[in-house]
């Protein structure tokens, strides 16, 4: 299974909570904070990958995204 972007994760979680009837303002706030943490980690991972690519070029940002999230 491929990785999800933070946005894809957030949409899936919102849909799940809507279906379960548990979505409220607090849940939305918590999901937003979690999605931002996921995004932060993904940016960190992309940066680390970019540093490696700067030393030994292996691709471009579009290829990184495709290989990581598709």
- How many whole angstroms from its chain centre is CA 34? 10
CA-based end-to-end distance of the chain? 9
Supply the range of the domain harboring residue 17.
6-69
pLDDT of residue 57: 55
State the total domains in the chain: 1
Counting Cα atoms < 13 Å in the Cβ hemisphere of 68 gives 14
Q: What is the mean pLDDT of residues 13-24?
A: 97
- How many whole angstroms from its chain centre is CA 12? 12
What pTM value is reported for the model?
0.69
Q: How confident is the model at residue 1 (pLDDT cuts 50, 70, 90)?
A: very low
> Is residue 30 in some structural domain?
yes
> Is residue 17 in some structural domain?
yes
> Is residue 1 in some structural domain?
no
> Is residue 42 in some structural domain?
yes
């Amino acid at each position: 299974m491929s990785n999800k972007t933070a946005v894809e994760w957030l949409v899936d979680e919102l849909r799940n909570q809507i279906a379960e009837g548990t979505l409220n303002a607090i849940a939305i706030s918590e999901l937003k904070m979690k999605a931002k943490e996921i995004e932060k980690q993904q940016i960190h991972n992309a940066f680390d990958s970019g540093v490696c690519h700067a030393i030994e070029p292996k691709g471009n940002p579009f290829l990184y995204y495709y290989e990581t999230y598709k």
